[in-house]
Amino acid sequence: MTTPTVDERVERYKNVTDLKKFDMKYRVINDGTDGSEMVERIWEWCIPGKHGQIYPVGFNGDLGVLSEKPRIASKLRALGLQRLQGEVAFRFPPARIHEVAEIILARKSRKGKFIMTPEQRAAAIERLKLARKSRRNSIGSPNSKAAVDGSRALSAV
């Protein structure tokens, strides 16, 4: 038996859903395994949730969800997902990831929250400039509260 080349592996894994595509909406973490080849590391990613996790299943692009809680499993079953053998796990197409993520309460990503439009960025820079300018003026001013309190403390000595 021969070992497949990297090109053969890339061809084999091309249909596997890469969960890192969803990292702007959901938190995507590495499950701790260490694939020897970069192309094999596609299996290491999962989307954790309060009631389960989403992970890639099979070479056809499907995803799986694993949940040990019977109440959550019944909600997943109600969606009509295909149950995997021997586990409380279900297979589903990537198009339904948002429905499943809502049921398992998938952790949200922080990446998407900090993206600013150019207008928002310009407005934030202006606010920062004004705040720095007013701070410099208040600290250096002889009538500022800090300066008055400091002079009272020195006169008391």
pLDDT in tens, 13-54: 777 788 888 888 888 888 766 656 665 667 778 899 999 899
Chain centroid to CA 58: how far?
Answer: 23
Is pLDDT larger for residue 96 or for residue 147?
96
- In the chain, at which residue ranges do the beta strands (DSSP E only) sit? 29-30, 45-49, 52-56, 63-66, 82-83, 89-92
Is pLDDT larger for residue 7 or for residue 145?
7
The ranges assigned to domains in the chain are: 6-111, 116-156
Is pLDDT larger for residue 41 or for residue 108?
108
Q: What residue has token string 């079953």? A: 77
Amino acid occupying residue 119: E
pTM for this prediction: 0.63
As a whole number of angstroms, the distance between CA 14 and CA 12 comes to 6
